[in-house]
Amino acid sequence: MVQKLKEQYRPQFHFSPEEKWMNDPNGMVYFNGEYHLFYQYNPFDTIWGPMHWGHAVSKDLIHWEQLPIALLPDEHGTIFSGSAVVDWHNSSCFFEDDQPGLVAIYTSNDTYPDSERIRQRQCLAYSKDNGRTWVKYEKNPVLSDYTKTDFRDPKVFWHDATKKWIMILATGQSVTIYTSPNLKEWEFASEFGSNAGSHAGFWECPDLFPLAVENEENKIKWVMLVSIGDTGTSKEGSRTQYFIGDFDGKTFVNDHEDETVLWLDYGMDNYAGVSWSDIPAKDGRRMYIGWMSNWRYANQVPTKEWRGAMTLPRELSLISNEKGIRLLQKPVSEINLIRRETSVQQNLLVESDNPVCFDMNNQLVEINIELEKINGTKFDLIIQHSEFDRTEIRYNVLQETLVIDRANSGVHQFSASFPVLQEAPLTLKNNKINMQIFLDISSIEIFANDGEAAITSLLYPSEGRKQLILLSHIGNMKVNTLELTELCTIWD
């Protein structure tokens, strides 16, 4: 199926459903040459509603083919977030002749028969045909806890050292870990988090995986991602934190005994991200995708035919720096597939308070810039989308902060929270800074200092002639390199 999706604000190199509402990525798994992306989907409306699992597949993480809905509500309720794994050795006995197959583990959401109280229970479905059709397990649900109301979003993986399946589940303001030999019977292992990290909202969509620390030999750490919901009180709305620590198959031990909160992304529009399961060992990457929106205004953003898009797929890595071990992220290398013409500028001086402009001949652009000898107090990188609409990226040298201001970037009146400043801490390295920026029709993603800080943000500008403006305040700076690359649509 060739999709041509060209409506106003339609992302051209990010996944969005052809029509109707989408939120969290679900069931991300790689199997038989395909990356699967399931997602929270309401096929009836462009606002959140009865959840199904929508489905798309890709052979390269960039071009997506939307497939029919994979999981529909049933007698146990609507289908909330969850994960999928390859059951390589048929531990579940769902498959014949010890053939591998896909098993989805998701939350069924309904209410108790005799009250309005929400009931969330974990269920299974399996597929013998590469995720095209699914059979629900006849003994669903496989995991319930009637003492807990928020009991959802299972992320499951195989833990080779203990030869067990592990499930990490969001349980109110904590996560709970369970183990199983066969995906059907689950045993409590531990609970983590009631005294750690941010509790600005209820915890959702956890993930847990090991990663090597790149600049320390033979050091493996475990990363836990936890999204925190919007309670309407914070400036930022919903967002995702992470923890670094160790995991022995039962218990996660957090490295940060102090109050440190580590944010995955400093922009408002990267939520509920989880990583792909079963990436082949010879590839070895840990890749994730997030929902590019925020519960604060997700139901109000000004798209018509559909609502919701995913971030670019990103590769995660760990690095040890002066602050400790930190997560870095960068877009997957497959992004190369949509790169077209590049124009390169080198060794340019941006004089104090004297703006320099560059034309960008395309609506879809990647900007790679390296700045050095930053002698001023601040500098701005302004994306002029059209005559009136501009997004400003500002770096403050004294405060060491990178800020994105979308107050004048286009339509924002749908939410008072949309124009608030989004700020990331970022230190200069040898008086240098680099940024990789992706501009789609209705989003911007910034990866600063090789992925140390990411800012993901929706934008709704009118289209026009795009320009990039560089401005240095009270002092010069040098542009080492500036590359402007035209990107092409994934929908042709």
Q: Does 292 bind ligand FRU (CB under 6 A)?
A: no
Q: Which of 12, 23, 275, 363 binds ligand FRU (CB under 6 A)?
A: 23
The closest alpha carbon to 203, from 145, 245, 150, 144, belongs to 150
Q: Which of 14, 28, 37, 40 binds ligand FRU (CB under 6 A)?
A: 40
Of 204 and 452, nearer to ligand FRU (C-beta) is 204
Which tokens is 135 given? 């059979």
DSSP string across 330-363: EE-GGGGGGEEEEEEEEEEEE-BT--EEEEE--S
Q: Please give the Cα distance from 371 to 431 (Å, whole number).
A: 8
Amino acid (1-letter code) at residue 286: R
CB 384 within 8 A of CB 467: yes
CB 303 within 8 A of CB 293: no
Q: Does 204 bind ligand FRU (CB under 6 A)?
A: yes
Of 52 and 385, nearer to ligand FRU (C-beta) is 52
Q: Give the binding-site size for ligand FRU (rule: CB under 6 A).
A: 12
Which tokens is 85 given? 């794994």
Name the minimum Å distance from CB 177 to ligand FRU: 17
* Burial (CB count <10 Å: 0-12, 13-18, 19+), residue 387: exposed
The closest alpha carbon to 439, from 325, 359, 372, 363, belongs to 363
Name the minimum Å distance from CB 3 to ligand FRU: 24
Q: Does 176 bind ligand FRU (CB under 6 A)?
A: no
Q: Which of 5, 63, 153, 310 binds ligand FRU (CB under 6 A)?
A: 153
Q: Does 230 bind ligand FRU (CB under 6 A)?
A: no
Name the minimum Å distance from CB 188 to ligand FRU: 20
CB 71 within 8 A of CB 16: no
Of 153 and 405, nearer to ligand FRU (C-beta) is 153
Which tokens is 233 given? 């009180």
Of 12 and 107, nearer to ligand FRU (C-beta) is 107
Of 118 and 428, nearer to ligand FRU (C-beta) is 118
Name the minimum Å distance from CB 298 to ligand FRU: 9
Q: Please give the Cα distance from 458 to 10 (Å, whole number).
A: 12
Q: Does 51 bind ligand FRU (CB under 6 A)?
A: yes
| Whether residue 24 lies in the annotated active site | yes
- The catalytic position among 24, 87, 153, 207 is 24
Q: Is 59 left (phi over 0), alpha (psi -120 to 50) or beta?
A: alpha
Name the minimum Å distance from CB 271 to ligand FRU: 6
The closest alpha carbon to 435, from 388, 463, 468, belongs to 468
CB 469 within 8 A of CB 357: yes
* Burial (CB count <10 Å: 0-12, 13-18, 19+), residue 282: exposed
Of 51 and 364, nearer to ligand FRU (C-beta) is 51
Of 295 and 447, nearer to ligand FRU (C-beta) is 295
CB 151 within 8 A of CB 141: no
Name the minimum Å distance from CB 81 to ligand FRU: 3
Q: Does 152 bind ligand FRU (CB under 6 A)?
A: yes
Residues 57-116 that bind ligand FRU (CB under 6 A): 80-81, 107
Name the minimum Å distance from CB 21 to ligand FRU: 9
Q: Does 460 bind ligand FRU (CB under 6 A)?
A: no
CB 162 within 8 A of CB 142: no
Q: Which of 84, 272, 482, 487 binds ligand FRU (CB under 6 A)?
A: 272
Name the minimum Å distance from CB 272 to ligand FRU: 4
Of 297 and 395, nearer to ligand FRU (C-beta) is 297
Angle at 133 between CA 277 and CA 49, to 5 degrees: 80
Q: State the first-to-last Cα distance of the chain, in angstroms, to the nearest integer.
A: 11
Residues annotated as catalytic are 24
Residues that bind ligand FRU (CB under 6 A): 23-24, 40, 51, 80-81, 107, 152-153, 204-205, 272
